[in-house]
Structure 1
Amino acid sequence: MRILFTVFPASSHVYPVVPLAWALQSAGHEVVVASPECVIDPNVIANIASAGLTAVSLGGKEELTASLAPLIAAAGRPSRGTAAIDPDDENAWCASRAMLVGLLNAYYPPESVSGGRRPVLDTLVEFARDWRPDLVLWDPLAPTGAVAARTCGAAHARLLFGMDNVGLVRSKTRQELADPSSGLTEDPWMPWLGPVLERYGLDFTEETLVGQWTLDLNPARMSYLVDLPYVPVRRIPYNGGSRLPEWLHHRPERSRVVFTLGQSRRLIAGQPNGFPLREFFDSVSDLDLEIVATLNSDQLATMGTLPDNIRAFEYVPLNQILPTSSAIIHHGGAGTFGASVAFQVPQLVVPLPLWDEKVVAQYVRRRGAGLVADPAAIDVDSMRKDLLRLISEPSFQIGARSLYEDMLAAPAPKDVLPVLERLTAEHRG
């Protein structure tokens, strides 16, 4: 088969794709990974290629960057809107829907934004018509994959990078449309989708938003209860390739803790200056621990001289450092969560409110695999106490083991290939 992956232009969306793409490639299938380019993460195409996969650039750097900028700025101000789903707020999906519609609209921007340049979707459709994939696997934030698949007769499915916020929001939207008392009389997705589909001679189907089926990397106990066809796949941690640092050749002499804010290197904490990095590092300076912190160059430049037990780096792949770590402090991103689970590391989660971080945090706490700090009221002394609990209380290691067993219950990428081959044969046009 020929398989085309389409991903959102961020490395954190590329990494979940890689293990399945490797499995397909190793089984003899032809695989390419396509992504637009965006200054928000200029390394996307290079990261695809460095993983040993064939990368296809869809261009669109200027117009996509301009279209996404206001949405990303709004996500940085939770009161102004976010694509996150708050499990404690039954109505949070409404704000998420508004953000998602705006995000999807970015792939086919109006003339005022595109400046006459070809939208990303046109480039992808042209490539798909020429390359003729049998199957298109698309990122929920790159729904252009569904449109491209329909124009060339390919089967298509979503590959989730995190929780299925799009599926949940679409399910609730359909319920609202079916309820006369809701006041919603027109489908809010259609102002963007209608004209785009019409341009390619297509009508609207639900599969345009949610795929013919969905590959789900989330543990079964964590997934939303949405009436869609899901195929479980085990999340295999991949964080990019790099040389193993010499200091990681040996096991640490004292307990090692990883501190990471994810690919974005930021944490929205409801505070003017975000996470109080320096205060936290000072609060743990007297502990018999080795803290390995990944910080960007700006953060490193403002830290000054760090305590002796803090190692600060711009980047260390989690799959290199977590096997020798006793705990991790992180922002709740799906990739970081998945890597922590794979190496059975107890977690202290300070959830960043962008996508599914609060869901991840609550799941970790509920399963006894870690603790949660309130991002809107960070107390470094409380975080210090929580960290010591993770290191000293055996129950958190037991909880981390239970999450690992949940992960093993899902089939590995290679074991899913017969299912993909069968579904592709059934759905290919």
Structure 2
Amino acid sequence: MRVLFAVSPGIGHLFPTIPLAWALRAAGHEVLVATATEGVEAAVRAGLPAVDTAPAAAISAIFGAATGPPEERARRMSERGQRIAEAGHEVHELLLRTFGQVSAVTAAATAAVARRWRPDLVVHSRLQGAGLAVASALGVPAVEHGFNLQSEADLAGRFLPHLAEACERAGAPQALPSRRAVVHVAPPEMMLGPPVPALSMRYVPYNAGGELPEWLWEPPERPRVLITMGTVVPRLQGVGGLARMLAAAPEVEADFVLALGGDADLAPLGPLPPNVRPVGWVPLHHLLTGCVAVVHHGGSGSTMAALGAGVPQLVLPHGADQFVNAGAVADLGIGAWCPPGEVDAGTVATLLADATVRATAEAAAARMAELPAPADLVAPLTALAAAR
């Protein structure tokens, strides 16, 4: 079986699909990734063949240049994120329009590759409509791969009106594939929204490779708290959103690990408190081991990795779907959230002392571990591709 992974640009969309791609390869199936920008190199680093489906400039033009001072960019991102959260479990129309444009830009190249390679199945990230268009054009099944806790019964149907240009460029009718499936990466009872038919799969965090520092193997002398803002927030807004969090760190009886990757400019933060240790790129799921809490921006990857690790979360949302994830963390009882400008030592200390939140987070992780592994989905996906 040949499986084409059609993925929206960006590692936040690509990384959640890597474990399933690996599982299919390990079972003897062929896999090809069709994505753009940083996702191409990231797929290659994961050991997967990849094709570039759009110029970086074309993708950047859709999302807009990061112009203006960091404070202004932060304000715009926060306002946009709060608008997105208004839709609750559903994907906001704003995102459907935006990713409809992304789908159009990537559709022609994705379709050209698919026609040459002839996949039996197309797995697409939730908002990559080029995957839906290509599956429709080739008459093969499409599998929507989730990456967070959002769920809605008719996402593809709501997305379709925004895919007219993508379908035209792919040479496909503006219609959904006749055979479709959805993969969720959390148990049905944790998903936002009413239950929908889906294949539930364990969330297996993939954060690329990285050298693990020696201190990570040593038992911590005090409670260890991880701080991370992912890759997008530091690049678009800088690290100013962490100023209050780091100012409060000396007042908390804990040691903090500041993980912002190797490219983030920490200079605006000034001298770091003595109980804050900055690190370069270290796989997130390894950093979570041994931590009693994690402070993060609400990115789906960070939220899901912490959920799977059973670590209580404090979410400081900045934009995009981060407010949705922040609300889910609070509703599930596995953590709390507050605006970045309102966090203080008391916020963190309260989370560290909350035994109920810790027990709930550990129980949620145990439930996540009960789900089928990516390898367990190979059989049903093979059957879906074989059904005619």
2:77/2:319 contact within 8 Å kept:
no
The answer to whether the aligner puts 1:140 opposite 2:108 as a matched pair is no
Distance 1:19-1:196 versus aligned 2 partners, 3 A rule: closer
Q: Structure 2 length normalisation: TM-score?
A: 0.87
Aligned-residue offset at 1:392? 2.7
Per-residue CA deviations over 1:117-169 (Å, capped at 9, x if unaligned) read xx532111111111111111001221101212222332211111224467566
Per-residue CA deviations over 1:214-267 (Å, capped at 9, x if unaligned) read 111133123244675411111111111011112213222211100111221349
Matches within 5 A, 1:319-358: 319-355=285-321, 357-358=322-323
Work out the number of aligned pairs and report it. Answer: 382
C-alpha separation between the residues in 2 aligned to 1:170 and 1:333? 23
The answer to whether the aligner puts 1:48 opposite 2:48 as a matched pair is no
**1:212 corresponds to:** 180
2:291/2:311 contact within 8 Å kept:
yes
**1:252 corresponds to:** 220
Aligned-residue offset at 1:369? 1.9
The answer to whether the aligner puts 1:391 opposite 2:361 as a matched pair is no
2:121/2:141 contact within 8 Å kept:
yes
Instruction: Pick the aligned partner of 1:402 from 353, 358, 363.
Output: 363
SS of residue in 2 equivalent to 1:312: strand
C-alpha separation between the residues in 2 aligned to 1:264 and 1:337? 15
1:258/1:291 contact within 8 Å kept:
yes
CA RMSD of aligned residues (A): 3.1
Distance 1:66-1:365 versus aligned 2 partners, 3 A rule: closer
C-alpha separation between the residues in 2 aligned to 1:124 and 1:82? 32
**1:157 corresponds to:** 143
C-alpha separation between the residues in 1 aligned to 2:255 and 2:74? 36
* 1:230 partner amino acid: A
C-alpha separation between the residues in 2 aligned to 1:287 and 1:134? 54
SS of residue in 2 equivalent to 1:213: strand
1:265/1:295 contact within 8 Å kept:
no
Per-residue CA deviations over 1:358-391 (Å, capped at 9, x if unaligned) read 343233223332222145xx3233xx22322332
The answer to whether the aligner puts 1:28 opposite 2:28 as a matched pair is yes
The answer to whether the aligner puts 1:61 opposite 2:47 as a matched pair is no
C-alpha separation between the residues in 2 aligned to 1:227 and 1:306? 46
C-alpha separation between the residues in 1 aligned to 2:119 and 2:275? 52
The answer to whether the aligner puts 1:380 opposite 2:350 as a matched pair is no
Segments of structure 2 that go 5 or more residues without pairing to the other structure are 68-72
Distance 1:74-1:327 versus aligned 2 partners, 3 A rule: closer
Per-residue CA deviations over 1:95-120 (Å, capped at 9, x if unaligned) read x2134223312343xxxxxxxxxx53
Distance 1:151-1:74 versus aligned 2 partners, 3 A rule: farther
1:258/1:293 contact within 8 Å kept:
yes
**1:243 corresponds to:** 211
Instruction: Pick the aligned partner of 2:98 from 102, 108, 118.
Output: 102
Matches within 5 A, 1:302-321: 302-321=268-287
SS of residue in 1 equivalent to 2:64: helix
2:114/2:134 contact within 8 Å kept:
yes
1:31/1:53 contact within 8 Å kept:
yes
The answer to whether the aligner puts 1:293 opposite 2:279 as a matched pair is no
The answer to whether the aligner puts 1:3 opposite 2:3 as a matched pair is yes
C-alpha separation between the residues in 2 aligned to 1:77 and 1:264? 11
**1:181 corresponds to:** none
The answer to whether the aligner puts 1:414 opposite 2:375 as a matched pair is yes
1:160/1:217 contact within 8 Å kept:
yes
SS of residue in 1 equivalent to 2:319: coil
1:168/1:226 contact within 8 Å kept:
no
Determine which structure has more spread, i.e. the larger CA radius of gyration: 1
1:5/1:34 contact within 8 Å kept:
yes
2:78/2:318 contact within 8 Å kept:
no
* 1:379 partner amino acid: E
C-alpha separation between the residues in 2 aligned to 1:243 and 1:162? 27
Per-residue CA deviations over 1:283-334 (Å, capped at 9, x if unaligned) read 2214331111123645412222211101123433211211111110112222
**Percent pairwise identity:** 30
Aligned-residue offset at 1:282? 2.2
C-alpha separation between the residues in 1 aligned to 2:308 and 2:54? 35
1:85/1:165 contact within 8 Å kept:
no
Q: Structure 1 length normalisation: TM-score?
A: 0.79
1:300/1:312 contact within 8 Å kept:
no
1:101/1:189 contact within 8 Å kept:
no
C-alpha separation between the residues in 1 aligned to 2:269 and 2:9? 30
C-alpha separation between the residues in 2 aligned to 1:147 and 1:74? 34
**1:203 corresponds to:** 173
Q: Which moved more, 1:389-398 or 1:5-14?
A: 389-398
C-alpha separation between the residues in 1 aligned to 2:119 and 2:238? 47
Distance 1:364-1:57 versus aligned 2 partners, 3 A rule: same
Aligned-residue offset at 1:7? 1.0
C-alpha separation between the residues in 1 aligned to 2:309 and 2:328? 17
Per-residue CA deviations over 1:68-112 (Å, capped at 9, x if unaligned) read 326997994454687723366x9x96xx2134223312343xxxx
